[in-house]
Structure 1
Amino acid sequence: MTSPSAHGAREIYRIDWLPGTDVLHGTCHCGAEHTAQDPVEMWEWMLGHPEGHRPRHQPREGSS
């Protein structure tokens, strides 16, 4: 799923099903990741930005 942002850029949300399980793995446009068995829980997490989001790539202090 993609959605336009305030600046016209596209935000990409990705949900993958882990074969052989009931687990969904989601990746938000900010790089944060989450797993859940309930599709509704997954979408609420993704669309509830920024609550619960911890981007995997956070800039270090003093770096650009």
Structure 2
Amino acid sequence: MTSPTGEIYRIDWLPGTDILHGTCHCGAEHTAQDPIEMWEWMLGHPEGHAPRGQERGPEQ
């Protein structure tokens, strides 16, 4: 999905499972079984994730 601001969100279903794998426009990744949980995670910037390669500090 592409947002109105041009950000790309991607959700893939892992075949043979009930698992969804999401990749946010910032590069962060997440897995979940519930599609609602996945979208809340993706749209919840900056809570819940940081871009790939960045460690989350205590203030985040």
Query: Partner amino acid for 2:4?
Result: P
Aligned ranges 1:1-64 → 2 under 5 Å: 1-5=1-5, 10-58=6-54
The alignment partner of 1:26 has SS state of strand
Number of the residue aligned with 1:61: none
TM-score (norm 1): 0.78
Aligned-residue Cα RMSD (Å) equals 1.0
Q: Counterparts of 1:32 and 1:57 in 2: how far apart (Å)?
A: 9
The alignment partner of 1:51 has SS state of coil
Q: Counterparts of 2:37 and 2:44 in 1: how far apart (Å)?
A: 10
Contact 1:31/1:57 (<8 A) preserved? no
Structure 1 gaps, min length 5:
59-64
* Aligned length in residues: 54
Shift of 1:3: 1.0
Q: Counterparts of 2:26 and 2:46 in 1: how far apart (Å)?
A: 9
Structure in which a larger fraction of residues adopt strand = 1
